[in-house]
Every structure is written in structure tokens, then in C-alpha cells.
Amino acid sequence: MSDHHDGIEEHDNHLPNWWLVTLFGSIVFSFAYWTYYETLGVGAAQAQELAGEEAALRALREKSAPPISDESLLALSKDQKVVASGETIFKTNCVACHGMRAEGSVGPNLTDAYWLHGGKPMQIHGVITKGVTEKGMLAWGNVLGDAKVRDVTAFVLSLKGTNVQGKPPQGEKDP
Ligand code: HEC
């Protein structure tokens, strides 16, 4: 025993057996675990399996997503969350040519009842997807992807009848 100025006596007790068992047990376990998953390739195989399952799930989701139609787009144009998402997409990508309130500038006013390429939901969706590139309207399908094109279409549809003062009507009146 050394001298103690703090009054604490130091015992040199053996570590309890349960503690040693836990210590060595966890060392053995971690080594076995590591060997199993990292060196035998089980981990890689699992990662691969997971990737495969995720791909299958994605394919399934895309297949089970209902195909868009006039009706489904019209319904989405009344869904506040979708419209809000579409508005954000519009403000980012479309206002430069269609104006902050879609009142038109380079591109047509999207709030009136007149349409160059038809005012039906699927027609609007088609123009946004494929564009009218020779007239300066880009094909947004490849840029934004299906989900965003759908949302921004819903937003444009939600503007129907708002008739914001802006670029004079172009095209045919949508019946
Ligand atoms: C670079 C300018 C430009 C940008 C950016 C642009 N547009 Fe256009 N857009 C046009 C022009 C120009 C037309 C008219 C094409 C024509 O004359 O046939 C048009 C037409 C349209 C039409 C058809 C209107 C009608 O009367 O039939 C829709 C719908 C439309 N754009 C939506 C969008 C959306 C949504 C975005 C953003 C994702 C967007 N545009 C971004 C220039 C643009």
C-alpha cells in the first residue's frame, strides 16, 4: 500500500468474473461478426439484395401509380399540397417567360380562357412535357421529371378563371 493523502484506500481486487466474461465475450463476438459480414462477403450480398428489392419496389410503385388523365389532373388541381408544390416549381422555372402571376410576357397568359395548344388538362400537360421548342417553350419532361410536371400542371389548372390582367389572349377559347 502506498501512502494516502486523500484517505482513499486502494484495493487490488480481481475484476468480477461476470465482467470479464462480458468483456471477452464482446471481443469474440465483434470479431466473429466482422468476419462474417465483412470478409465472407455477406455484407456485400445483403447490400446487393437490398438494392434489388428497392428497384423492384420502385418499379411496382410506378406501375401502380394511376396513369394521368384529364380527371386525375383536375382532381390534383384541387389538392392544396400538390398545387403548392406546383407553384414552387412554376416560380423557379416558368415565371421568366410566363410572368410572376402567370399573366404572360414572352409566353402566353396562362390565366385566361384562351389556349394556343388546347386548355384540356392532358393538352396542357402535353405542352409542358414536350414543349413547343421552335416557339421558345422548352420540353420540361426531361428537365423536371414526371412528378414535377404533374404538379406544375395542377398548378396551371388551378389558375383557370383567375384572368390576371396581362398579355392579351392568344389562341382559341376553351369551351
Ligand atoms: C423560355 C421561355 C419559357 C419558359 C421558361 C416557359 N415557357 Fe411555357 N411557353 C413559352 C412560349 C413562348 C409559349 C408559346 C408557344 C407557342 O407559341 O406555341 C409557351 C407555352 C406554354 C403553354 C401553352 C399555352 C397555350 O396557350 O397553349 C403552357 C401550358 C406553358 N407554356 C407552361 C409552362 C410551364 C409550366 C413552364 C415552367 C415549367 C413554362 N411554360 C416555361 C415560353 C416559356
> Is residue 120 within 8 Å of residue 96, measured between CB atoms?
no
Tell how far the Cα of 81 is from the centroid of ligand 1, in angstroms.
Answer: 23
Residue 119 Cα: closest atom of ligand 1:
27
Measured in degrees and rounded to the nearest 5, phi and psi for residue 115 equal -135, 135
Mean pLDDT of the chain: 91
The number of distinct structural domains making up the chain is: 2
Ligand 1 is surrounded, with C-beta below 6 A, by: 90, 93-94, 96-98, 106-108, 110, 115-117, 124, 127-128, 132, 135-138, 140, 152, 156, 170-171
Q: Which pLDDT tens digit goes with each residue over 6-58?
A: 888 888 888 899 999 999 999 999 999 988 887 777 777 888 889 999 989 88
Tell how far the Cα of 66 is from the centroid of ligand 1, in angstroms.
Answer: 26
The predicted structure's pLDDT at residue 133: 94
- pLDDT-derived band at 3 (thresholds 50, 70, 90) equals low
Q: Is 115 in the same domain as 164? A: yes
**Residue 87 included in any domain:** yes
Residue 90 Cα: closest atom of ligand 1:
37
The predicted structure's pLDDT at residue 99: 97
Q: How far apart are CA 160 and CA 163, in angstroms?
A: 7
Q: Nearest C-alpha to atom 13 of ligand 1 is from which residue?
A: 107
User: 116 vs 7, which has greater pLDDT?
Assistant: 116
The predicted structure's pLDDT at residue 14: 86
**Residue 6 included in any domain:** no
**Residue 4 included in any domain:** no
CATH number of the domain enclosing 154: 1.10.760.10
Cell of 90: 412554376
The residue segments making up the domain with residue 142 are: 70-173
Mean pLDDT to the nearest integer, 139-156: 96
Q: Is 52 in the same domain as 93? A: no
Q: Is 119 in the same domain as 52? A: no
Last residue of a domain, one of 64, 83, 103: 64
The percentage of residues in the chain with a pLDDT greater than 70, rounded to a whole number, is 95
**Residue 149 included in any domain:** yes
Q: Where are the alpha helices (DSSP H) in 3-137?
A: 17-34, 42-64, 70-76, 80-93, 95-98, 121-130
